Chains A and B, each alone.
Chain A
């Protein structure tokens, strides 16, 4: 179902946007292009500037003029256009529903606010509002007040209200942030389906990597006012551009050491770097040794995901020694929490259940660790 007026979706382009609040730089020269009909997630920790970026797109914040940044909708600069004239649908984190109005009145507000020449007739407004109420699966609840609805229902009202005016762009600020885990999962699948049905260009902000990776066409990972990486969920998860992205998207174990003939010397152990035949590569964003030259002797950090760690009872002298602390059973994998024997750093591995039964691990058991897959970054990158 496609509400009338919603088929005028257009792409968004941000060029070199900077926004400072006093001495704090919320956005530092951000450029981003969102294709028509695309669903893009802005992912990052709190304070990374993602909400500010969303508000700049909406026009609720004005970017600093000094850097000559521009916001373009469908190729047209909208800097001079007031929020009300941008035709964006904005869904707020805490819904921002008008609590003295019923669901119907909330959804109708945008239509009733139109200049009288564009404003639909009374009957038409009613028809369109009821259509939207059906679309967000709240049929029969149009007479209720926001206080009589659950969190998930309120968020859907907020969405219907934003969609009512037929926005060219839909912006969602942590749309599921205030909901409990189960409702979140349902709603984000529903949002994806709704987006596919309506085809409105959408940008949503989240700090939950699962949400971003599951729902979005592309994910922009933000940190300290900059976009660290933008790509499809697969790209950013499988090929993080830098340690920050690696760290932010899922758990990771760090092994610091010195490179020596395709291996990383970690204390007494040597961690084999799979895929590196003699010449280990350091995958830094700034290009240090990324050309594959011999990096022997360089200090580096190996990033290993828990499911890329091989846990064994015996080793070959090269493996890293650790002691099991605790075993967790959440999800399809078994989580093994360990402590490195040489420096006491915590390590986490995720192993298959069969492997766990084979090993019969108990707390205080000594194990040997090696990496099935690892990424190297130079040791000077601070997170």
Chain B
């Protein structure tokens, strides 16, 4: 009973802090997004052509087509965000699992250096990271000559062409060239910024589990690949989900690095960049509407993250 006052005070401070810095901004995001009503909210993302649009007075027609063009750009930004994440997350899962596996289960020269390198993105400002990519791959950069001519296929345009023409059965209709100021740059920047997440969430888990189970699998005659798929990976699956969720959330929310390498081209916008553009165009409601999607994403992330943490603990007991 003696310590009741400090306890109450501390709880109040914590709650007040959370309300001020988390709840209030979140509520504000949704309030602003819905400030012009549900219809306006929806038309931020989806504004179909109105029947008989051509016959409307010029002013209304212009307003409508502007709204439609904006909605199209917003949808493109959402597609871009999901597309970047769809490439970045698998890459970093492969890298993170490989790095964590090497660090936790083996002793080799340069191991501690690798551990520090994995933490590098945490200590480097994303803007600086983006700038480094621009300096390396830009026209005057070290890889400039190669990077400006580099051809890469548009993922959405990849199709199956069969074996009739050549032994390589996949083709792409659209090709992009260059790295900086293209979506590929957004992928590279996001890979750099988010690669610690998977590795960092797996290393402590793998280290605490030791190598007993793997050694048991080997003495039972299992090869390296089978040991990995059947023993190591299932043992860390919830930790991996945790890492994937964090990595995906950070990729979709990344602003600084992606902003620098995007060249502020509309076609390179991800959702956070789109929020900024809408805001700069004094389109407050639309900016908050896009931001509300990111806020919802944060909620989903939080739920999945809690679930993964809970499952990891349950699996350890």
Interface of A toward B, CB cutoff 8 Å: 58, 60, 83-90, 92, 94, 96-100, 109-110, 113-114, 147, 158, 161-162, 164-165
Contact = CB atoms under 8 A, between A and B. Distances in A.
A373 B214 CA distance: 51
Contacts of A89: 219
Contacts of A86: 219
A362 B235 CA distance: 60
A358 to B, nearest CB: 55
Contact of B223 (A84, A87, A88): A84
A161 B222 CA distance: 13
Contacts of A58: 219
Nearest to B219: A90
Contacts of A60: 215, 218-219
Given A96-B212, A147-B317, A113 B220 contact: yes
Nearest to A58: B219
Contacts of A109: 217, 220, 222, 230
Contacts of A87: 221
Contacts of A97: 213, 216
Interface in B193-224: 212-213, 215-223
Given A84-B223, A109-B230, A99 B217 contact: no
B188 to A, nearest CB: 36
B31 to A, nearest CB: 46
Interface residues of B, number: 18
- A-B complex: 5 closest residue pairs judged by Cβ atoms: A110-B220, A96-B212, A113-B222, A96-B216, A90-B219
Given A100-B235, A147-B317, A84 B215 contact: no
Interface string B291-317: 000000000000000000000000101
A65 B222 CA distance: 26
A196 B230 CA distance: 34
| Residue of A58, A89, A99 with highest tally of chain B CB at under 10 A | A99
B315 A99 contact: yes
A96 B213 contact: yes
Contacts of B231: 98
B283 to A, nearest CB: 50
Contacts of B216: 90, 92, 96-98, 158, 161
Given A109-B222, A109-B230, A113-B220, A90 B235 contact: no
Nearest to A90: B219
B226 interface: yes
B234 interface: yes
Interface of B: 212-213, 215-223, 226, 230-231, 234-235, 315, 317
A165 to B, nearest CB: 6
A89 B218 CA distance: 10
- Chain B's interface: helix, strand, loop or mixed, by majority? helix
B235 A113 contact: no
26 contacts: A58-B219, A60-B219, A83-B215, A84-B220, A84-B221, A85-B221, A87-B221, A88-B219, A89-B219, A90-B219, A92-B215, A96-B215, A96-B216, A97-B216, A98-B235, A99-B235, A99-B315, A100-B315, A110-B220, A110-B222, A113-B220, A113-B222, A113-B223, A164-B220, A165-B220, A165-B221
A303 B222 CA distance: 51
A127 B234 CA distance: 26
A118 to B, nearest CB: 10
B195 to A, nearest CB: 27
A47 B58 CA distance: 90
Contacts of B219: 58, 60, 83-84, 86, 88-90, 162
Contacts of A88: 219
B215 A98 contact: no
Contacts of A158: 216
Given A110-B221, A113-B223, A158-B216, 14 more contacts: A58-B219, A60-B218, A84-B220, A86-B219, A88-B219, A92-B215, A94-B212, A96-B212, A96-B215, A98-B216, A99-B315, A109-B222, A113-B217, A113-B222
A99 B212 CA distance: 12
A78 to B, nearest CB: 13
Nearest to B316: A99
Nearest to A167: B219
Nearest to B314: A147
B215 A113 contact: no
B235 A114 contact: no
A84 B222 CA distance: 6
Contacts of A90: 215-216, 219
Contacts of A99: 213, 235, 315
A97 B222 CA distance: 14
Nearest to A164: B220
Contacts of B220: 84, 109-110, 113, 161-162, 164-165
A92 B230 CA distance: 19
A271 B27 CA distance: 92
Contact of B218 (A83, A94, A100): A83
A202 to B, nearest CB: 14
A25 B154 CA distance: 59
Contact of A98 (B213, B218, B221): B213
